[in-house]
Structure 1
Amino acid sequence: MQAAGIPTLQEITVNSGSQDLTGIADSANEGTVTAKQLANRPLLRPAEVLETVPGMIVTQHSGDGKANQYFLRGFNLDHGSDFATQIMDMPVNMVSHAHGQGYMDLNFLIPELVGSMKYRKGVYAAEDGDFATTGSARIDYLRQLDKSFVDIGLGQHNYRRLLAAGGHQLNDLNLIGAIEVAGNDGPWEQAENLEKYNGVLRLTSGTAANGFSLTGMLYQADWTATEHVPERAIASGEIGRYGALSANDGGHTHRYSLAGDWAQTGANGASKASLYVVDYGLNLFSAPSGYISGSQGDQHEQADERTTWGGQASHSWFLGPNWKDTEITAGLQLRHDRISKVGLYTTENRRRTGTVREDRIDETAVAAFFAARTQWNHWLRTNLGLRRDQIRAQATALGGQYNMDNGGSVDAGQTSPKLGVVFGPFNLLGQTEFYANWGHGFHSNDARGATARTNPQDGSATEAVPLIVKAKGSELGMRAAPLPGWNSSLSVWQMELASELVFIGDEGITEPKGASQRHGVEWSNYITPADGWIIDADLAWSQARFKQANPDNGGRHVPNAIPLTASLGLSADHGGAWFGGLRLRYLGAYALEESGEQKSTPFWMANLKAGYRISPQLQLTLDVLNLFDKQANDIEYWGGSCTRSETLGGTCGGGIDGRLVHPLEPRTFRIGLRATF
């Protein structure tokens, strides 16, 4: 909504021209990324598309078929526990997942097909619910493909990729089809043997505001993983820098989905609706603690089989000048996860040797939300929101010696108020707006933890955790356009979380800990100094602390909460023969355990993409990933583990606490050839 005759500062949007800018921002930390920013961005992994969200860090501590590790706003998001992502209105985060709550696997994403990504940070949007503690992203694929193309990619470590995409238009209907086949062994001494198959078929009509789309997606992957390992195993020479502590970790996964959406916008209002169904499965084999249990190793399998379906519908009313150009939106959301089997099994070389636990879960989430945006005068607008979430889960124990007493029904709800106030724009530093935001949000916990009575490992008594973990946040921000082509935002924020999630190295899981609080400062810039040039620069500082000290060491640090990140990107494409992009990323040292005495090693790295158009139909690209061959770690943890030699030598006991690392991949060259038709 934009009030007639009232100047507004447009949402920060990556695009080729100001005429395509969309929306009005309700906070200093929201925006839209389009295909133009992604076109010349060097990517090691598909999920690095999310690094276009200022301050977001995407890493990996295992194989490329497993969900990535994410960090934002002083949160170790693990595999997605506190950041919500949707693709074509389908939720990606998995509730009550075999590996971790909120598991967000984006390996099925095809970056070349991304048409737009809208992101928000904080808990201030009424439309956002579960997992949107630090924020959310909504990714949409292209609705029309102007030219068909074939991409062929080859690189070191047996990397190969084929992507073929084509489009056809019939009157107002657009059909897009794409097939991706990829493989990679990586630099690991134990070859990754990644085999990835991906397919998309999409039918669209009209635009996202007035039209519909129907999208079918199929994805499956198999891989062998080199997990994080004790740093001392590399230092002693027991394994090489890219060696594996345990053989034949990894797994296989699939995701098949069908989604449809419809929207209609008129002078007096707008309506939209969407439906989806997802068939998902994962069998993940890992041994994060090595050989604590003996010379056969600690490998276990986490298995998940489910069908997820749901949808949402909303309507907006544009009330016009007599009502201060107020826009009122009301909506409903529904999600149901039918998890036929979710289990944890002991294994040897991917063969099951025992069942720790096996469960069946039915989980339903229903939400209603309401928002009212009002332009009170030329310098003041407000956004009021209210959201009600209700979650009900039924867990049934199917197996496990100490698990059969677990299970039952659990029901929880939360009402989340939201408030945003925007002052401006003012003629200060060009066009400037000031923001104040406050809101409540939450993430859900695993239904098995919310219905637990006994520890499935040993049968000891345990307490159930809440099904809903409350969050409360606020921030003050400013967004300005100091010069033509330069958008800058600055914000100060704080967040309180009722229960923290912390990685437990000797078990390879996350578990609820005490309440925490965070605060931080973010500064992001998007600059287009001339046609064809894009510069983006981000700086984020935060502090994360438990409210109560750890009784064992007296520390209040939240492990793996990165306090300082920075990024700088440059891309150039004037439409001529040459084009490319360069990205630098910095990760500051972070506490590995509560006392803060053990810290990770800070590092920076760079990725480069260079391209040459041989002809209008043929182009060649070169990606150099980890350009300066930095010898750093993609991720570091602190936890108990044993190497094989320590177990055989009788020096391990119940595990040795130490640094667990997964190294950055070394400098890697990849070439690509694209032919368009």
Structure 2
Amino acid sequence: MHENEQFFEEKCVEKRTKLIFTLKRQSFRNSILLLAWMPFSIDAAGVPTLKEMIIRANLRELIGTANSASEGTVLKQQLDSRTVYRPGELLETVPGLIVTQHSGEGKANQYFLRGFNLDHGTDLRITVDGMLVNQRSHGHGQGWSDTNFIIPELSGNVQYVKGPYYANQGDFSSAGAVSMSYVDKLPKGIASYGLGQQGFMRGLIAKSHETGKGHVLYALELLTKDGPWIKNEDFKKFNAVLRYSQDSGPTKFNVTAMGYGGKWNSTDQIPLRGVVNGYVPRLGAIDPSDGGESHRFSLSGALQHVSRLGTTQLNLYTVHSNLALFSNFTYFLDDPVNGDQFSQIDKRFQSALNINHLWINKIGGLEIENTAGVQLQNDVIDNGLLSTKQRQTLSTTRRDHINENSVGIYYQNSIQWLEKFRTVAGVRSDYYWFDVDSSLNVNSGKRYDSMTNPKLSLIFGPWAQTEFYVNYGSGFHSNDARGTTATVDPKSGDPVNRVNPLVRSTGYEAGVRTGIIPGLQASLAVFRLDLDSELLFVGDAGTTEASRPSRREGFEISAFYMPSDWLTIDLDYALARAHFSDPDPSGDHIPGAIRGAGKLAVSVDNIGRLFGNMQWRYFGKRSLIEDNSVQSNHTITLNGQIGYKIGKNVQVAVQGFNLLNSKAHAIDYYYASRLPGEPAAGVKDLHFHPIESRSIRVNLVANF
């Protein structure tokens, strides 16, 4: 027996609960979850031996435990080795996922996965420390997912799944779901200070202390950044975290307070013709008064209790957030005098309670692993759309007060029928209530909807450390509550059709995972996903709207290889075809849908005092119009860092972003806009946001 496996089993015996040991054997996913609270968890002292066990010796543990070829866990060691321009890019450790930005740094990122342009999070469910990041019925767009409140040094691990095959994943999870945990304690305190080009400066202090039976962790981050833009971005943000946790005995819990605030100027997407004719520089803005400010405060608690009856997990949280966003995508198309700038306001209190219970029983000689859970959420929202000029209000287009409630109930079981065959079956039911009080009375109203979705996974093997998967499941995304009750367009006065509150997705997948080569974990998945209604980005309003039914087909391949203690290689590539599934003369291509995406990350450590990493990213072409007559180009970026360990507790690193100094685009759209002197109907053109030019940062980290 490997010494680390013996260490794991000894700890299980110390806990004196057969369930923990059984879950370790039965479900690697659940064992990773348990590691987050056991005394020898991924954030505790002595971690490297356990990490080595998971990353190297026991990569094959996913064989025999994973439910699909496209799920996985990214450990803290891997997250710490990434060089990221913005916190949301940590999620690019998920194979096939691209994270970009089309506006100011304080705005939510734009996400691409499995043939989707997910806008700011329409079909990718993101949770951080158990709290749902996606915001329903948001002022800028459905599923708004702002990750600027993440402090990378506190991230524990990232767990991800793809497709609607998992009963515990609800709204927004049709393409996938990503969950980031936070650590309960730090081995040593962290004092970090960074300086760089483009006005970058960042300071961080974080530490944990043993207090009574538990630990107190605190962190404070301050950051400023101007970016390469002609109009300085002047992005300023603060982050603060205060956490108390206990993990002694059979019960673990934590209580966490978080605070974030940000303020920025935006350089939004610009028209290609404006750059060609010299009206606007490539790094310039049509409307330099665009920008915004945002804040987010949360209070959350999590509890996990292990007994002879099973494991019960509970998390409860409330979030208050506020956003004022000023944008101008069409310039002078609607208002040739004042311009088309508009403000989107969103203020909300979001509260949720999630509880689940895991237990194992035997029926007819078969051991059955069961999970049942309930998820409750309430959003009290005030949002609005205003016409503005240089951030000053000219008129009010709409104001809405929304009360949105949901209940999700699910059950899932895993049964090992034969030595080489097991199943995972589940069912989920969701119930939604919408209550909209609009400034335009005809758009007010109440709606109710519900949906039940089955899930099934068949797993064959393993043979020669290789396992095969077949997955089926249906899921859903919710639509903006305002669209479910609206009868009139508040801007034009034209009649509109109400959208369905919940939209079903149906997915199919077949895949293989292998760990036949020591140190290598590789997987291949082929998938199809059908949506009853597509969510599309509307450029002139900055929102999403329901559209035609669609289908996506493609494959993903990923490989993580650690041939030695000092070298890790992480590679993934995905290719998808996305198209509308109903006939229409305009064409069947989905504007903005990603085709190909690939990443290669190489990290070097444990070779003396030096360490470093390099990350190459390929962001493939997208169709920008239904008939495919206009396409974006692909984008290739290269980031990296090289560092030196001055001593046991001090290190310095030089980080480089866009090292190739590419002039490519971070995002592309095709729609009509109007510059001064152009026809009243505007000009259809490609609009783009350039990627940031090459920049260098120096970061000094001291542990104490």
Q: Which category describes the TM-score, using the shorter chain as reference length?
A: over 0.9
Q: Percent identity?
A: 39
Q: Which residue of 1 aligns with 2:521?
A: 487
**1:59 aligned partner, one-letter code:** T
Q: Which residue of 1 aligns with 2:674?
A: 642
**1:363 aligned partner, one-letter code:** E
Q: Which residue of 2 aligns with 1:584?
A: 616
Note closer, same or farther for the CA distance 1:209–1:129 as it changes in structure 2 (3 Å cut): farther
Q: Which residue of 1 aligns with 2:112?
A: 71
Q: Which residue of 1 aligns with 2:14?
A: none
Q: State which of 133, 150, 158 in structure 2 corresponds to 1:92.
A: 133
**1:452 aligned partner, one-letter code:** A
Q: Does 1:671 align with 2:703?
A: no
SS of residue paired to 1:449:
helix
Whether contact under 8 Å (1:312, 1:331) holds in the other structure is yes
Whether contact under 8 Å (1:143, 1:207) holds in the other structure is no
Q: Does 1:107 align with 2:155?
A: no
What displacement does 1:210 show?
Answer: 4.6
In the TM superposition, 1:241-252 aligns within 5 A as: 241-252=282-293
Q: Which residue of 2 aligns with 1:334?
A: 376
SS of residue paired to 1:405:
helix
Q: Does 1:298 align with 2:340?
A: yes
Whether contact under 8 Å (1:7, 1:425) holds in the other structure is no
What displacement does 1:376 show?
Answer: 1.2
Per-residue Cα deviation, 1:267-289 (whole angstroms, up to 9, x for no partner): 55111111000011100000011
**2:430 aligned partner, one-letter code:** D
Q: Distance in 2 between matches of 1:556 and 1:108?
A: 38
In the TM superposition, 1:421-436 aligns within 5 A as: 421-427=458-464, 431-436=465-470
Per-residue Cα deviation, 1:227-276 (whole angstroms, up to 9, x for no partner): 00101111111111100010211110010000101012245511111100
In the TM superposition, 1:405-424 aligns within 5 A as: 405-424=442-461
SS of residue paired to 2:92:
helix
Whether contact under 8 Å (2:157, 2:182) holds in the other structure is yes
Q: Which residue of 1 aligns with 2:686?
A: 659
Q: Distance in 2 between matches of 1:245 and 1:390?
A: 44
Q: State which of 52, 77, 90 in structure 2 corresponds to 1:17.
A: 52
In the TM superposition, 1:285-364 aligns within 5 A as: 285-292=326-333, 293-320=335-362, 323-339=365-381, 341-364=382-405
Whether contact under 8 Å (1:289, 1:508) holds in the other structure is no
**1:659 aligned partner, one-letter code:** L
What displacement does 1:118 show?
Answer: 1.0
What TM-score comes out, normalization by structure 1 length?
A: 0.95
Note closer, same or farther for the CA distance 1:208–1:626 as it changes in structure 2 (3 Å cut): farther
Q: Distance in 2 between matches of 1:638 and 1:424?
A: 48
Q: Does 1:388 align with 2:429?
A: yes
What displacement does 1:573 show?
Answer: 1.2
Q: Runs of 5+ in structure 1 lacking a partner?
A: none
Per-residue Cα deviation, 1:569-612 (whole angstroms, up to 9, x for no partner): 10111163111110001122110110111010113111011111
SS of residue paired to 2:340:
coil
Q: Which residue of 1 aligns with 2:536?
A: 502
Q: Which residue of 2 aligns with 1:155?
A: 196
In the TM superposition, 1:566-577 aligns within 5 A as: 566-574=598-606, 576-577=608-609
Q: Distance in 2 between matches of 1:322 and 1:204?
A: 41
Q: Which residue of 2 aligns with 1:538?
A: 572
Output the aligned Cα RMSD.
2.0
What displacement does 1:204 show?
Answer: 1.3
Q: State which of 109, 121, 135 in structure 1 corresponds to 2:162.
A: 121
Note closer, same or farther for the CA distance 1:323–1:447 as it changes in structure 2 (3 Å cut): farther
What displacement does 1:16 show?
Answer: 2.9
Moved over 4 A (4+): 1-15, 19-23, 207-210, 320-323
Q: Does 1:618 align with 2:645?
A: no
Whether contact under 8 Å (1:209, 1:264) holds in the other structure is yes
Whether contact under 8 Å (2:142, 2:543) holds in the other structure is no
- In the alignment of these two chains, the number of paired residues is 662
Q: State which of 451, 455, 462 in structure 1 corresponds to 2:485.
A: 451
Per-residue Cα deviation, 1:534-569 (whole angstroms, up to 9, x for no partner): 111001010000012443x3x100111111111111
Q: Does 1:596 align with 2:628?
A: yes
Whether contact under 8 Å (1:34, 1:114) holds in the other structure is no
Q: Distance in 2 between matches of 1:261 and 1:506?
A: 41
What displacement does 1:296 show?
Answer: 2.2
**1:163 aligned partner, one-letter code:** L
What displacement does 1:323 show?
Answer: 4.5
Q: Distance in 2 between matches of 1:334 and 1:506?
A: 34
**2:176 aligned partner, one-letter code:** G
SS of residue paired to 2:441:
coil
Q: Distance in 1 between matches of 2:357 and 2:389?
A: 54
Whether contact under 8 Å (1:6, 1:378) holds in the other structure is no
Tell me which moved more, 472-481 or 230-239.
230-239
Whether contact under 8 Å (2:122, 2:143) holds in the other structure is yes
Per-residue Cα deviation, 1:454-504 (whole angstroms, up to 9, x for no partner): 010121111100000110001001000131000000011000001111222
Whether contact under 8 Å (2:250, 2:307) holds in the other structure is no
Q: Distance in 1 between matches of 2:68 and 2:21?
A: 18
Q: Distance in 2 between matches of 1:19 and 1:185?
A: 40
Q: Distance in 1 between matches of 2:216 and 2:611?
A: 29
**2:526 aligned partner, one-letter code:** V
Whether contact under 8 Å (1:152, 1:674) holds in the other structure is yes
SS of residue paired to 2:134:
coil
**1:528 aligned partner, one-letter code:** M
**2:374 aligned partner, one-letter code:** L
Q: Which residue of 2 aligns with 1:478?
A: 512
Note closer, same or farther for the CA distance 1:516–1:267 as it changes in structure 2 (3 Å cut): same
Whether contact under 8 Å (2:141, 2:542) holds in the other structure is no
What displacement does 1:18 show?
Answer: 2.3
Whether contact under 8 Å (1:268, 1:319) holds in the other structure is no
**1:559 aligned partner, one-letter code:** P
Note closer, same or farther for the CA distance 1:549–1:198 as it changes in structure 2 (3 Å cut): same
Tell me which moved more, 292-301 or 212-221.
292-301
Q: Distance in 2 between matches of 1:586 and 1:19?
A: 29
Per-residue Cα deviation, 1:505-553 (whole angstroms, up to 9, x for no partner): 23322211100011101100011110132111001010000012443x3
Q: Which residue of 1 aligns with 2:410?
A: 369
Per-residue Cα deviation, 1:408-435 (whole angstroms, up to 9, x for no partner): 00000000100011111112xxx00100
What displacement does 1:317 show?
Answer: 1.6
Whether contact under 8 Å (1:40, 1:609) holds in the other structure is no
Q: Distance in 2 between matches of 1:165 and 1:463?
A: 51
SS of residue paired to 2:696:
strand
Q: State which of 310, 314, 317 in structure 2 corresponds to 1:276.
A: 317
Whether contact under 8 Å (1:333, 1:366) holds in the other structure is yes
**1:411 aligned partner, one-letter code:** Y
What displacement does 1:117 show?
Answer: 1.3
Tell me which moved more, 355-364 or 18-27.
18-27
Note closer, same or farther for the CA distance 1:487–1:75 as it changes in structure 2 (3 Å cut): same
Per-residue Cα deviation, 1:377-431 (whole angstroms, up to 9, x for no partner): 211111110000000010001x3xxx3311100000000100011111112xxx0
Note closer, same or farther for the CA distance 1:441–1:667 as it changes in structure 2 (3 Å cut): same
Q: Distance in 1 between matches of 2:498 and 2:576?
A: 31
Whether contact under 8 Å (1:302, 1:344) holds in the other structure is yes
Per-residue Cα deviation, 1:166-210 (whole angstroms, up to 9, x for no partner): 110135411110000001110000110111011001111118995
